[in-house]
Chains A and B, each alone.
Chain A
């Protein structure tokens, strides 16, 4: 595992990797929920807002661990 933090650089602005992972995680969770809505699979969840939050956290952790490690 890489132990040195790897910042994202856009122009001269440095962004922390966790911020990018969090943004991508939220976008991925939102896209998943749109698909679940589209195919009417959302009806199998008792309380969708909590599921959206949980998915955002799971995606962020996965992206942060494997795709954009700090």
Chain B
């Protein structure tokens, strides 16, 4: 009989919980369920990932315990300051969890601090003991789960990791081939779009598995810097590919074979590199080293083209050159990783992006939500006499609030079924079955059966918080100790606490900052266009204006917003309830997000093109025209930030065509006037790149306006309960 992975994982988790609680009971430790919680929270798909989670949990618990003891030592007699310090620390942990690394460590620090501080805060004499026990039991849980996962059906990251890496390379190679065909007019989006979606998924899975593989395999750990650099380079390759594909619409009607004479050689070289990279991942030594290829342009042939076509060609060429550089870097990284390097291969380290340490509104919002949750629960605990659950109510509200805060797309309603089922089932077992048991053999079997059922029934990744809450409710009701006593009041108290916890978490999901998908989507859309408007305003030519430090910080902030917001919007598409959007379909919303992604790439291209020096002569002659264009785009962004549906595709297109026609004539005149001493070849290239980038932004805005035409914005903007 072949057992499913879901079954095996549920057995492993249930067995580890049963053993951990059994050991805690045999050591006569108070609250042995803490060891069980640990197992429930660290049980992930593979050994490597779980070991990593275990280490993070252990370190997080240590930091949480230290913070809790410090808070108790400082504010034991001041309940408001005590709660203020505790909630600020928890909010800080959730802010840090929103970063790119060690998310689990920060979450556990926050949860452990709340549990220890609230449990021990009202009994400061035992605070140290509580903290030590929590740490001991967490270590026990980590150790037991690690042993079970290594000995029973070990599921290694290694094979899946290797397979995902190979698949990712193959998908990116196919996407490159399809895009190359699309550029020369031999293929369409229907061929490349599914490949693009596959590549995104595979890259996400690769990133997820990499950290687990680093913990699990010494070989990968040794090369961890190279692997992380490789991950960044693969992402850069995907981004360069996207930027390149977006510029195809402006190349229509051009004979690229004639204009770019060595395009076929260039394509062959890049295809060859990608094949060699795929081969190296399968253990085959490379048969050749990458050759530097410069994509040349037939200067005689391009003279007959319009200035805008020349600009589009310049932009495309620079994108292809970027792909050439990135594939070369990937080749070097992979040959280093797989041991085929000649020792001199220069491996790029991940580049730190400017402004990524700036405050992020999407990390501040969950922190505020956690603050609100903890304060609401704490005020209820203080002012409502005999509130069900007592301090447990504050602990559960804080822990669940923290687990949900950084995945706001997962609604509170997802928690209801597992928690209610646990309460009912555990209540029945506690009242009718547990009093009949006399040894840990029978209790252990019961714990095993119940935890297995919860883990098996709620195995989907989006149910992870519900599963954890279900297990936690069971342990809270069962209250397992060596000297077991039974009380109906305990069950009733916990059963009443659970709707109150969900109520508090639900209230803070909407107040003060709403996490309703339709509201969040509009908010993010407005932020995107505000960022675009600000960045366009920074493009002005003003020799008297020297940007200060604050200007640089604002620019970095808005650049990050522009880069990251399309991905954030994409994560909300699945959460939208399109039934209430008056006929708008998820595909239409996805189309809108795709057009925003294209606009984001175009804006980044414009910022990059603007950073190059432009010839003084051209600036003097064309300043007013370029300025008019910028102001037009800026105004459009301002209007779109206030109303995402302002303007139609036809309206944008007509304005753009007017501007292009006028500018074409002005550029013609200016170039006629310019002598060769006034305009070098490099000046010409920089100018064409800027011109192409401006046009790209405008075309992307036209495409965005087209994608909004099909959406019923009136219904979307309507308030709903």
Residue ranges of A at the interface with B (Cβ–Cβ < 8 Å): 13, 19, 33-34, 36-37, 40, 42-53
Contact = CB atoms under 8 A, between A and B. Distances in A.
Interface in B663-721: 718-721
Contacts of B721: 33-34, 36-37, 42, 48-49, 51-52
Given A49-B510, A49-B514, A53-B507, A43 B719 contact: yes
A48 B511 CA distance: 10
A46 B719 contact: yes
B492 interface: yes
15 contacts: A13-B492, A19-B496, A33-B721, A34-B721, A36-B721, A37-B580, A37-B720, A42-B718, A42-B720, A42-B721, A47-B719, A49-B507, A49-B721, A50-B511, A53-B507
A47 B514 CA distance: 10
A49 B511 contact: yes
Nearest to B718: A43
Q: Pick from B488, B718, B719, B721 the residue with the most CB of A within 10 Å.
A: B721
A45 B719 contact: yes
Q: Pick from A13, A46, A49 the residue with the most CB of B within 10 Å.
A: A49
Q: Pick from B488, B510, B514 the residue with the most CB of A within 10 Å.
A: B510
B372 to A, nearest CB: 12
A53 B492 CA distance: 25
A42 B719 contact: yes
Contacts of B507: 49, 53
A52 B507 CA distance: 10
Contacts of A36: 721
A42 B516 CA distance: 15
Nearest to B496: A19
A46 B721 CA distance: 11
Contacts of B492: 13
A19 B719 CA distance: 30
B211 to A, nearest CB: 37
A45 to B, nearest CB: 5
Contacts of A53: 507, 511
Contacts of A48: 719-721
Contacts of A13: 488, 492
Given A40-B718, A43-B719, A49-B510, 20 more contacts: A13-B492, A33-B721, A36-B721, A37-B580, A37-B720, A37-B721, A42-B718, A42-B719, A42-B720, A43-B718, A45-B719, A46-B719, A47-B719, A48-B720, A49-B507, A49-B511, A49-B514, A50-B511, A51-B721, A52-B721
A53 to B, nearest CB: 7
A36 B580 CA distance: 13
Contacts of A40: 718
A46 B492 CA distance: 38
Nearest to A55: B721
